[in-house]
Chains A and B, each alone.
Chain A
Amino acid sequence: MDEDQQIIADCQMGKSDRYRLLVEKYKTRAYYAALMYSGNQDDALDLSQEAFYRAFKAIKSFELGKNFYTWLYQILRNLCINHYKRIRKRNIVFSDFQTARHYVDFFSDIKDPDEIFEETERRELIWKALKKLKASEREIILLKEFNDLSYREISEVLAIPIGSVMSRLFYARKRLASLLEELQ
């Protein structure tokens, strides 16, 4: 049994103070994942901490043997989607309500990358290219490149087969390559 699984097993047996080890281990990844969805630091902190809290609440139902981070990521992703929908609902006029409910494209509302990325030479260019991708293409790029998930982990998070992960990622990267060329 690896370290994560042992900690979770301990938490399931009531040693909840051990949960801190998991939080310390994954807090950075969870925070940056939330930052990619929310676009600002305060919300990212709040959402990632809430995800850890909800994961703790449900720790007894966690199936040992599964990957803790992908499980946490699913919780976090759903929290971010709901957070985004709440913000959209608050900011839109009534006639847009129906369409906005099903519209989940976080990036389109993030105006600039200042809160997310350090300023580098190519930042603006890559940011523009990322914004031009379809939401599904962008998400898979974010999962791979910015969250450093393996194909298996992405397949668990998005609930699609590994083959689909590979082809979606391949075409997303191809499109990003051509967008970067176009914008340069």
Chain B
Amino acid sequence: MKNEYSKRNDIELKIMAYMDGELDEDESRYIEQLIRKKSQYRQIYESLKHVQEATRDMKFKKLPEFYWDEYWQHVYNRIERGVSWIIISIGAIIVLGFLAWNALNTLIADQRIHPVMKGGILLLSFGLLILLISVLREKLMVRKVDKYREVER
């Protein structure tokens, strides 16, 4: 009984695949014969065909032509902006890194600041640096193993 059900189910799926042009020649011929000979399968085919025709009757609203003409330009602008953001970020990292390095050097050389204070500021800077490296490393590790990294979640 169960076998018969699953066989029927299998044929129904193949009827749909036939309608969608997903079967090879031999299978298509077999399904065509079934549809011709057996009314229950013909009924399924006709019902599926009716749904397909109904949905294909829906025509997407056309977009004015100038949107299509400008489409690539918009994508290109995004690409260009993306590149400029990368350059800005690298520049900002260099400038900020240089300023931080200078500030630390000045701090160490300054005799008026108490050594304990200097030690505290150095530890604080060192801790922030480790935190930054850790976050960057984590991001890069995830990037290496995550095959869907380009997909926004």
Which chain A residues have a beta carbon within 8 Å of chain B's beta carbons? 16, 19-20, 23-24, 27-28, 31-32, 35, 41, 45, 49-50, 52-58, 61, 74-75, 78-79, 82, 114-118, 120-123, 126-127, 141, 144-146, 150-151, 166-167, 169-170, 173-174, 176-177, 180
Chain A residues positioned under 8 Å from B17 (CB to CB) = 151, 166
Partner of B61, one of A56, A116, A146: A116
- Residues of B within 8 A of A (CB-CB), count: 39
Contact A75:B82 (CB < 8 A) given known A120-B57, A173-B48: no
> A58 vs B150: C-alpha distance in the bound complex, in angstroms?
6
Task: Check B50 against A54 for contact (C-beta < 8 Å).
Answer: no
> A3 vs B52: C-alpha distance in the bound complex, in angstroms?
30
Chain A residues positioned under 8 Å from B56 (CB to CB) = 145
Task: Check A53 against B78 for contact (C-beta < 8 Å).
Answer: yes
Contact A126:B54 (CB < 8 A) given known A61-B150, A117-B59, A177-B47: yes
In the complex, the chain A residue whose C-beta lies closest to that of B55 is: A145
Chain A residues positioned under 8 Å from B5 (CB to CB) = none
Partner of A55, one of B12, B60, B62, B150: B150
Task: Check A126 against B72 for contact (C-beta < 8 Å).
Answer: no
- Beyond A41-B63, A45-B63, A173-B51, 15 additional contacts (C-beta under 8 Å) are A32-B60, A49-B78, A53-B79, A53-B82, A54-B150, A74-B151, A118-B60, A121-B57, A122-B58, A145-B52, A146-B60, A166-B16, A169-B16, A173-B16, A180-B50
Task: Check B58 against A123 for contact (C-beta < 8 Å).
Answer: yes
Chain A residues positioned under 8 Å from B22 (CB to CB) = 150-151
Chain A residues positioned under 8 Å from B72 (CB to CB) = 20, 23-24, 27
- The contact sample of 8 A-B pairs, CB cut-off 8 A, is A31-B71, A78-B151, A114-B61, A121-B57, A122-B58, A144-B20, A170-B12, A173-B51
Chain B positions 1-47 with a Cβ under 8 Å from a chain A Cβ: 9, 12-13, 16-17, 20, 22, 47
In the complex, the chain A residue whose C-beta lies closest to that of B78 is: A53
Cβ of B74 within 8 Å of any chain A Cβ, yes or no, is yes
> A149 vs B52: C-alpha distance in the bound complex, in angstroms?
14
> A63 vs B47: C-alpha distance in the bound complex, in angstroms?
40
Cβ of B65 within 8 Å of any chain A Cβ, yes or no, is no
Least CB distance from B31 to A in Å reads 14
Chain B positions 56-108 with a Cβ under 8 Å from a chain A Cβ: 56-63, 67-68, 71-72, 74-76, 78-79, 82
Chain B residues positioned under 8 Å from A169 (CB to CB) = 16
Least CB distance from A95 to B in Å reads 25
Q: What are the 9 tightest A-B residue pairs by CB atom distance, in nearest-first order?
A: A58-B150, A53-B78, A145-B55, A118-B59, A78-B151, A52-B75, A166-B13, A177-B51, A173-B51
Least CB distance from A148 to B in Å reads 10
